[in-house]
Amino acid sequence: MVRKMDKYDINTEERILKAAKSVFHRKGMYGARMQEIADEAGINKAMLHYYFRNKENLFKAVFRDAVEKIFINVSKFLESEGTIDESIKNFVENYIDIMIENIYLPPFILNEINQNPEKLSEFFKPLLESLPVQLIKKILKETSENKIKPIDPRDFIINIISLCIFPAIAKPIVKELFNMDDEKFIEFLKNRKKSIPEFIINSIKLT
Amino acid sequence: MVRKMDKYDINTEERILKAAKSVFHRKGMYGARMQEIADEAGINKAMLHYYFRNKENLFKAVFRDAVEKIFINVSKFLESEGTIDESIKNFVENYIDIMIENIYLPPFILNEINQNPEKLSEFFKPLLESLPVQLIKKILKETSENKIKPIDPRDFIINIISLCIFPAIAKPIVKELFNMDDEKFIEFLKNRKKSIPEFIINSIKLT
DNA sequence: GTCTATATAGGGATAGAC
DNA sequence: GTCTATCCCTATATAGAC
């Protein structure tokens, strides 16, 4: 796996991984073809097996990377310090930025989990267990102190995540529905960094 | 395609279609196997080709049915008469009922569209063009008359759809996150028939 | 219409030379 | 480490008997 290389070169393993991401993200585990990955990496199929032994291993490397990018950060931002309002703004802004940079990942991950739910325990369990404890406590506290409208913390968490992630999953439909090209679509997402926190904060604040 | 049959029997074509739905919904176009569909229908592979000629045709029949179930209804409920509040309640309640009955469809459809965006024009275009015109007008009117907080109608539409559909797409994660079995998960969705309209109406009403 | 048997191709994986 | 050639299984699809 280790190879002397030119400073400006990138090594074969990285080239493969990059190509594998591109193909798996678009086509999923079963739609992807090893040949296509090899072509995109500019090498031949045998190399894929030399570095990753089989398709399943290569896929897992890609999937693990995707989960880390998308879910490690959910965890981090959901648990931030400060008031609820600050937490919401912080989460949404950071999360939509991640989404814009990795627009293919949410459909890729969610599709894989729906088709293979057992992957959940293999990749997510440690993440999920520790996830939103702090935030739930914060919501319950603010509710009991009459600082926000009462809301089931589970609904709150699902709502904020839904509003951030769903447009990435429905991208082709959203673009078609509102006649957007890619640029307009990104602009739409960027605007949601402001509109989603407003939407959520309005809905929970006392009148 | 037509066959005399016992009153309590269902004909072969329907058996195939039913089995095909079950398998395609769970595994998608590329993960599904014709053999598995044949087994589940209780017939052999040759029959699949006799009735549908090839896998692609069979898949399209299943996909078309899914799109009609999920999107015809979006269109219908989004355009209902009455005040905005009534429209929201009407849409969410009806849509979550549909979701509960067809929990596999949203991930199935969205995955297929993400992997094959060209399917969009083939199956959706007529639907999408006529979609939310009335609702957009209603929102703009209420905004200009200072009856609700100003909101981009596109955000409004995406928000309401996100809140309804996302839990279906993330079902395995939601169940894991909150330690739900299937029954608890359905209960959670049913509760959202009330909580989502509250959430949305609070966020847009003037204080 | 329904079955068994088989053709054909595609794709993952390996062997072996360099 | 990288390549070419090839193996071999799997899955779609067809042929043909009943």
Please write the tens of the pLDDT for every residue from B109-146. Answer: 999 999 999 999 888 877 676 667 778 888 899 999 99
The per-residue pLDDT for B80 is 77
Quote the CATH superfamily of domain B10-53: Homeodomain-like (1.10.10.60)
Count CB neighbours of B124 within 10 A.
19
Among chain B residues, CA nearest to A154: B178
The per-residue pLDDT for B116 is 96
Residue that wins the pLDDT comparison between B72 and A131 = B72
d(CA B56, CA B186): 33
pLDDT at A5 over 60: no
Residue that wins the pLDDT comparison between B5 and B8 = B8
Among chain B residues, CA nearest to A193: B155
Quickly state the pLDDT bin for B3 (edges 50, 70, 90): very low
Quickly state the pLDDT bin for B4 (edges 50, 70, 90): very low
What fold does the segment set A63-204 form as a domain?
Tetracycline Repressor; domain 2 (1.10.357)
| CA-angle at B173, arms to A71 and A152, nearest 5° | 95
Q: Given an 8 Å threshold on Cβ–Cβ distance, is B176 in contact with A125?
A: yes
Measure Cα distances from A159 to B6, B19, B96 in Å: 49, 34, 14
d(CA A188, CA B101): 32
pLDDT tens digits, A156-197: 999 999 999 999 999 999 999 899 999 999 999 999 999 999
pLDDT averaged over every residue in chain A = 91
Helices (H), B68-152: 73-78, 84-101, 105-115, 119-123, 125-129, 133-144
> Which letter does DSSP use for residue B42 in this model?
T
Chain B CB within 8 Å of residue A202 CB: yes
The per-residue pLDDT for B131 is 66
The per-residue pLDDT for A145 is 93
Nearest to A108 by CA among A55, A65, A51: A65
Nucleotides of strand C under 7 angstroms from a protein beta carbon: 1-5, 11-16
Chain A CB within 8 Å of residue B42 CB: no
Among A114, A143, A149, A163, most B C-beta atoms within 10 A, so best to mutate, is A114
Chain A CB within 8 Å of residue B204 CB: yes
Residues of B in contact with A163 (CB under 8 A): 159, 162-163
- Range with the lowest mean pLDDT among A4-13, A124-133, B163-172? A4-13
pLDDT tens digits, A64-89: 999 999 887 777 777 778 888 998 99
pLDDT at B100 over 80: yes
Chain A CB within 8 Å of residue B71 CB: no
Q: Which two tokens stand for residue B15?
A: 């058996």
The per-residue pLDDT for A6 is 47
The per-residue pLDDT for B78 is 75
CA atoms within 13 A of residue B200's CA, in its CB half-sphere: 26
- Range with the lowest mean pLDDT among A27-31, B52-56, B82-86? B82-86
pLDDT at A7 over 60: no
Measure Cα distances from A197 to A151, A191, B205 in Å: 16, 11, 16
Instruction: Give the residue extent of every domain in chain A.
Output: 1-53, 63-204
Nucleotides of strand D under 7 angstroms from a protein beta carbon: 1-5, 11-16
CATH number, span A1-53: 1.10.10.60
The per-residue DSSP string of A173-185 comes to: HHHHHTT--HHHH
Q: Given an 8 Å threshold on Cβ–Cβ distance, is A200 in contact with B203?
A: yes
Q: Which two tokens stand for residue A30?
A: 């079963």
pLDDT at B170 over 60: yes
Count CB neighbours of B41 within 10 A.
21
Q: Is the CB of B24 under 7 A from strand D?
A: no
Q: Which of residues 3-62 of A touch strand D (CB under 7 A)?
A: 3, 12, 43-47, 50
The per-residue pLDDT for B136 is 84
pLDDT at B79 over 90: no
Quickly state the pLDDT bin for B181 (edges 50, 70, 90): very high
